[in-house]
Amino acid sequence: MRFFLLLFLVFLPSLVSARVIDAVERWSGKVQVDEPLRVEKGGQLIIAPGTRVVLSAGIEVVGQLQATDAEFSGVNWPGLVLKGTSTRTWLKNCRISGAQTGISVMGGQPQLQGLVLENNRIGIELRQKSKALVESSVFRANTRVGLFVKDEAEATVQNNSFTHQGKFGAYIYRAQPKVFSGNRFIDNPVGLMISHYGSNPLISQNLFQNNKIGLKVDRTARPQVTTNRFIKNQVGIKLYRRSDPAIELNRFVKNRQAIHVSFSSYPQIRHNDFADNPQAVVLEYQSSLWEQQKGAAARQAQIVSRGAFAGQKQNQVTEDQRRARNLDGTVDARQNWWGEKATLELKSKSLSADANLSWIADGLDQPFFNEAGEQYPLDRVRWSPFGQQPYTTGILP
């Protein structure tokens, strides 16, 4: 009897009604899913290569899902939800499109490899300390975000490609992926966003190219950004609202602005190579005096106004955790290589440490900015001593 049921499921284009899978079930051919489906703990759904699953409802997996070379498509369907699944749940070389969230991963360690996530609202969302593997996948034209890493997820994210997303290639929010490396962000409004206190991942060996903003760091996030390449972006790295990343051993080539620093952000910019960027470091609305006088109050006002329904306080991060430590009116960008032409100029003119360099826009170019009728001095960039030769040669391709 069970055999006949299996045959029915395998060989007929089937309408899968609302039901639970609590044993082994195999799909192949064309499968239509119009009612929610749940793979229970102990249940196993195995999808054969070449299977085309057309969905208007979602699939929730608590047990196991194994799919290779399959296609999941639909129009605004909810997506796959993997809840606490083990490494025995995997999707390999599958295409997922048209979903609200292609794959939502709630905890667990599913293996997601070689996928194409296309035209979803969100490609993949990782939550709840998930240790998922997201590898060698293509995120293309998802209308909001290619990959969301949230909620303390500890995923491994490597060798993926993010192109033409609606808002963000990838977004790390209050999370610390274990590995975030070897990814390519090309032609996105923002390649990678890292936001909020507690987001301190190591971002290494990635390529950011032709994005409006390659990497944006916001709201007290403190990633370590090292050995990445930023090429032909409008802005290579944008630091916003108290973001203090360590930026080290990266290469910046032909970006309109290589690093843009604003609103009380105090990064450590060391041992990077800058070449052919019209502006290498730009400061805007960046003042130690403003931070001392108004920073804490401005942040508090923002917290109070951001309740879910505009009434709820969210004091999850203390002001002590947010505040800037060293407010001496400078942004530290010592020991960087500013390119051949610039280095030649620095050497030949023996410029002093307070010289106004053409590739740096700071308080030497615009001494003050206005806010609410008050003038605040714009910080300056400490660029001396400078690197005499490139730092990334031999490290980056």
Binding flag, residue 150, another protein (CB under 8 A):
yes
Binding flag, residue 100, another protein (CB under 8 A):
yes
Q: Which is nearer to another protein, 82 or 235 (CB)?
A: 82
Neighbours of 151 (CB within 10 A): 16
Site track for another protein across 109-128, x = CB under 8 A: -------------x----xx
Q: Which of 314, 321, 326, 388 binds another protein (CB under 8 A)?
A: 314
Q: Which of 8, 11, 15, 41 binds another protein (CB under 8 A)?
A: 41
Q: Which is nearer to another protein, 167 or 323 (CB)?
A: 167
Q: Which of 83, 216, 241, 260 binds another protein (CB under 8 A)?
A: 83
Strand ranges inside 128-227, DSSP E: 133-135, 138-140, 145-150, 156-158, 161-163, 168-173, 179-181, 184-186, 190-195, 202-204, 207-209, 213-218, 224-226
Phi first, then psi: give them for residue 123, nearest 5 degrees.
-70, -70
Binding flag, residue 144, another protein (CB under 8 A):
yes
Binding flag, residue 78, another protein (CB under 8 A):
yes
Q: Which is nearer to another protein, 1 or 310 (CB)?
A: 310
- For residue 311, the minimal CB distance to another protein (Å) is 5
Tokens of 137: 């996948």
Nearest to 358 by CA among 345, 373, 368: 345
Q: Which of residues 185-204 bind another protein (CB under 8 A)?
A: 195
d(CA 174, CA 196): 6
Q: Which of 107, 146, 245, 267 binds another protein (CB under 8 A)?
A: 107
- For residue 5, the minimal CB distance to another protein (Å) is 23
- For residue 277, the minimal CB distance to another protein (Å) is 28
DSSP string, 259-324: EEEESS---EEES-EEES-SEEEEEES--HHHIIIIIHHHHHHHHHTTSTTS------S-HHHHS-
> What residue type is assigned to position 255 of the chain?
N
Binding flag, residue 160, another protein (CB under 8 A):
no
Q: Which stretch binds another protein (CB under 8 A): 5-13, 166-174, 180-188, 226-234?
A: 166-174
Q: Which of 102, 108, 214, 245 binds another protein (CB under 8 A)?
A: 108
Binding flag, residue 313, another protein (CB under 8 A):
yes
- Chain-centroid distance of CA 103 in Å reads 17
What residues are paired with 105 via a beta bridge?
82, 126
- For residue 178, the minimal CB distance to another protein (Å) is 16
Please, what is the end-to-end C-alpha distance for the chain in angstroms? 60
Q: Which is nearer to another protein, 73 or 384 (CB)?
A: 73
Q: Which of 16, 33, 47, 62 binds another protein (CB under 8 A)?
A: 62
Q: Which is nearer to another protein, 101 or 336 (CB)?
A: 101
Site track for another protein across 291-310, x = CB under 8 A: ---------------xxxxx
**Strands 268-270, 246-248: pairing kind:** parallel
Binding flag, residue 167, another protein (CB under 8 A):
yes
| Exposure b/e, 18-55, CB count within 10 A at least 16 = b | eeebeeebebbeebebeebbbbeeebbbebeeebbbbb
Binding flag, residue 84, another protein (CB under 8 A):
yes
- For residue 320, the minimal CB distance to another protein (Å) is 15
d(CA 148, CA 128): 12
Binding flag, residue 95, another protein (CB under 8 A):
no
Tokens of 106: 């709630």
Residues that bind another protein (rule: CB under 8 A) add up to a total of: 35
Binding flag, residue 106, another protein (CB under 8 A):
yes
- For residue 299, the minimal CB distance to another protein (Å) is 14
Long-range contact pairs involving 29-34 (C-beta distance under 8 Å, separation at least 24)? 30/54, 33/57, 33/59
Residue with tokens 């806010």: 371
Is there a contact between 91 and 71 (Cβ–Cβ < 8 Å)? no
Q: Which is nearer to another protein, 80 or 269 (CB)?
A: 80
Residues that bind another protein (CB under 8 A): 41, 56, 62, 76, 78, 83-84, 100, 106-108, 122, 127-130, 144-145, 148, 150, 167, 171, 173, 195, 306-316
